[in-house]
Amino acid sequence: MDALEQCNLCPRNCGVNRYQTVGVCGAGSKMKVAQYSLHMWEEPIISGRNGSGTIFFSYCNLQCIFCQNYKISSMGYGKEISEERFQELCLDLQKRGANNINLVTPTHYVPQIVSALSKIKHKELTIPVVYNTSSYENVSTIQMLNGIVDIYLADLKYYDDALGCKYSHVKDYFHWASLAIAEMVRQVGEFSIENDLMKRGVIVRILILPGHVEDAKKLVKYLYTTYGDQIIISLMNQYTPVKHFDEYPNLNHKISDEDYQEVIDYALDLGVKYAFMQEGDTQSESFIPNFNCSDI
């Protein structure tokens, strides 16, 4: 059966026919893209000097209430494109000098992505493909990407499932995300870097939320005790309040320098060798793209 006729790409398992309707994520049967550009604000081994060739997909299956990209993840801003046009975007980014093709929130479009990239990967398209994900997806979805994706840029958002319930309305985030990340590591193995650019491997991002330092530390411990130096951990202090929350006042301010340093110190004490840390007031910098799909 066509995967879109009974969609179970993520653990929500809506089972809807996306040719006729939509599930929780809001996506239909056609890819919808909000922006494509050379992006300089990823980890240095992803962006490099030329930039990462990011393609921001519309909609998201996780729907975090604090999402900084809510314009596309919840409101669905973007333009529907064909698989052929998607291929053209990838090749245009490569021509413009992108270090990689960076697929941002792609989970709900995996069948279309696989169909399109399988025709040009290792042929016209020769740069690495990055899969930039919330990690809330079924293992079978990640398995579809074997041989297509070179680098997994994966979030690990919550250790405590109560936080997933509060902030993303899912009961079992850590269970499914940890299984998905295990499959990512199984596929691409230990990370590989050439000329200061990542060619293969897994980076797992931990966005430290205000008031939840202990949860972030549990995520660090899990990743390091499970994978050791096979993966790179990216500790992010860039949480940016984009709306006011009466119910969760902790989300109305950025993380403090002291809390962020506490997580860094914890990682170092554990013995983490390979990690990215953000310096300065990253919340005030332009990590939120100015979405404009006029050139798509």
* List of the chain residues with pLDDT < 50: 283-286
Question: What local confidence, expressed as pLDDT, does residue 286 receive?
Answer: 47
pLDDT at 285: 47
User: Tens of pLDDT along 110-133?
Assistant: 999 999 999 999 999 999 999 999
Q: Left (φ > 0), alpha (ψ -120 to 50) or beta: where does 213 sit?
A: alpha
C-alpha–C-alpha distance, residues 129 and 147, integer Å:
10
Please choose, from the candidates 80, 44, 82, 16, the residue with its C-alpha nearest in 3D space to the C-alpha of residue 195.
Answer: 44
Identify the pLDDT of residue 273.
96
Find out whether 59 and 26 touch, Cβ atoms under 8 Å. Answer: yes
Prediction pTM value: 0.95
Whole-number pLDDT of residue 198 = 98
Give kind and range of the element (H or E) at residue 125: none
Q: How many CA atoms lie within 13 A of 255 on its CB side?
A: 27
Angle at 243 (CA atoms; ends 242, 245), nearest 5 degrees: 135
Q: What does the alpha-carbon distance between residue 169 and residue 162 come to, in Å, rounded to a whole number?
A: 9
Per residue in 144-166, pLDDT (tens digit) is 999 999 999 999 999 999 999 99
Whether 157 contacts 166, CB under 8 Å:
no
Question: Based on C-alpha coordinates, what's the Rg of the chain?
Answer: 18
Domain extents in the chain: 31-284
pLDDT of residue 293: 72
- To which residue do tokens 């005030």 refer? 284
Both tokens of residue 20? 């006729």
Per-residue confidence (pLDDT) for residue 288, from 0 to 100: 60
Q: Look up the CATH number of domain 31-284.
A: 3.20.20.70
